[in-house]
Amino acid sequence: MGALSVLERMRGLREDRGAPAGVRAPQAATDDADGPFALSVRNLRTVYELGHATVQAVREVSFDLRPTERLGVVGESGSGKSALALSILGLIEPPGRVGGGEVLLNGRNIVGLSERQLSSIRGREIALILQDPMSALDPVKTIGAQLHEAIAVHNPQLRRSALRRRAAELLREVDIPQAERRLDDYPHQYSGGMRQRVAIAMAIANNPSVLIADEPTTALDVTTQAQVLGLLDRLVDEHRAAVILITHNLGIVSEFCDSVSVMYAGRLVESSSCEHIFLGATHPYSEALLRCVPNPERLAEGPLPAIPGFPPDLSALPGGCTFAPRCSVGRELAVCHEQTPVPELVEGPSGSAIVECHFARERAARGSR
């Protein structure tokens, strides 16, 4: 639903201003008819300057997130998903830096804020859940001490007893049994799933309006994955947070998310509702990604197809469409290798999408699958 509103706005903008097809995204609007966005990212650019080369990890990415919307960001390793998450939080470390763009969090641009200002926002308005619960907790501090810290950073007035009460409440909220007693345990005494719950508890401790989960279940086994996702689902509902879920698991996206953006070489190449992607992905890359998901019904078609080739070197991107060298449609077409596709709004059988592909319209019209 959220992505659709973006589309509607883009459409409106084009009609209003008669903007050329090259328009990237609406400029610095923070709300529309349905109310303010929780998060608006505008032309965000992140580069790593490595001396001999400049790696473009995030290239002019724009998207909007409404309150309580759940956006899935999918893509291969090295497509810039994590860099996008860290850029939004202002956590890019040298030699990387945010090279431009805006991140409007509840209407306020947080790009370029001082470290002190960012610290007061992180955890309170926007929080991050890291991929690996094994290393996301400090091994020499008790779980309780770490929860205390997460709370106290933004509530310095709280006394120790109040902190402890609140920490125990948080542990109960994430379904850790015997919460009071387990506060005094160290991370190594928790299982992987429990640690990820603690990480989630720390992230929601201050009721952030936006939660970024960077592959929160990748390090867990399948049953634990389901439990943690179920928990996240419930908590996000209860706390009315918007979520950006970064993952390479399309199954999780289909279960958890309202909308989805497919990331390739630092760009969002297709953004739409979940229905659109799963029923008729328009971009050849999205389509290829979906084909790579094992499906019992298609067992007879032979081995699982793989996308040929490798993701491009982000420090030496090919001209034209970055996916062209691997694309089943455009591999041999001059236009794909020579012209950079612009984001285009297309209508598919199951909704609209913003797609960066020279053949977006015709592919959307026929419904790709």
Is 235 a binding residue for another protein by CB under 8 A? The answer is: no
C-beta of 25 vs 204, nearer to another protein: 204
Strands (E), the chain: 31-32, 35-36, 39-49, 54-65, 70-74, 96-105, 108-109, 126-129, 210-214, 242-247, 259-264, 267-273, 343-348, 351-356
Rounded-to-integer distance, Cα 104 and Cα 93, Å: 20
Return the range that interacts with another protein (CB under 8 A); candidates 27-35, 105-113, 132-140, 319-327: 132-140
State the Cα angle at 61 between 59 and 63, rounded to 5°. 175
Number of residues near another protein (by CB under 8 A): 37
C-beta of 23 vs 134, nearer to another protein: 134
C-beta of 186 vs 218, nearer to another protein: 186
Q: Does residue 261 contact residue 65 with C-beta atoms inside 8 Å?
A: no
Return the range that interacts with another protein (CB under 8 A); candidates 13-21, 56-64, 142-150, 357-365: 142-150
Is 366 a binding residue for another protein by CB under 8 A? The answer is: no
Q: Does residue 105 contact residue 113 with C-beta atoms inside 8 Å?
A: no
Structure tokens at 179: 């919460």
Q: Measured from the CB of residue 9, what is the shortest distance to another protein in angstroms?
A: 30
DSSP for 200-218, written as a single string: HHHHHTT--SEEEEESTTT
Rounded-to-integer distance, Cα 203 and Cα 205, Å: 6
Rounded-to-integer distance, Cα 198 and Cα 195, Å: 5
Structure tokens at 17: 């201003």
Scan residues 171-210 and list those touching another protein (CB under 8 A). 181, 184-186, 189, 199, 202-203, 205-206
Return the range that interacts with another protein (CB under 8 A); candidates 101-109, 145-153, 291-299, 329-337: 145-153
Please report, to the nearest 10 degrees, the dihedral formed by the alpha carbons of residues 121, 125, 131, 136 taken in order.
50
Q: Which residue has the tokens 């939660």?
A: 211
Q: What residues contact residue 360 under an 8 Å CB cut-off, 6+ apart?
A: 282, 283, 341, 344, 346
Is 169 a binding residue for another protein by CB under 8 A? The answer is: no
Residue 3's SS3 state is helix
Scan residues 269-328 and list those touching another protein (CB under 8 A). none
Is 164 a binding residue for another protein by CB under 8 A? The answer is: no
Is 150 a binding residue for another protein by CB under 8 A? The answer is: yes
C-beta of 172 vs 361, nearer to another protein: 172
Is 123 a binding residue for another protein by CB under 8 A? The answer is: yes
Q: Measured from the CB of residue 153, what is the shortest distance to another protein in angstroms?
A: 5
Q: Measured from the CB of residue 275, what is the shortest distance to another protein in angstroms?
A: 32
Q: Measured from the CB of residue 50, what is the shortest distance to another protein in angstroms?
A: 15
Is 244 a binding residue for another protein by CB under 8 A? The answer is: no
Return the range that interacts with another protein (CB under 8 A); candidates 16-24, 122-130, 324-332, 337-345: 122-130
C-beta of 215 vs 356, nearer to another protein: 215
Scan residues 50-89 and list those touching another protein (CB under 8 A). 89
Give the side-chain half-sphere CA count within 13 A for 348. Answer: 30
Options 44, 58, 130, 263; binder of another protein; rule CB under 8 A: 130
Q: Does residue 326 contact residue 308 with C-beta atoms inside 8 Å?
A: yes
Q: Measured from the CB of residue 113, what is the shortest distance to another protein in angstroms?
A: 12
C-beta of 122 vs 248, nearer to another protein: 122
Structure tokens at 285: 């890359």
What does the DSSP 8-state code read for residue 312? P
Contact residues: another protein, CB under 8 A? 89, 91, 94, 115-116, 119-124, 127-128, 130, 132, 135-142, 149-150, 153-154, 181, 184-186, 189, 199, 202-203, 205-206
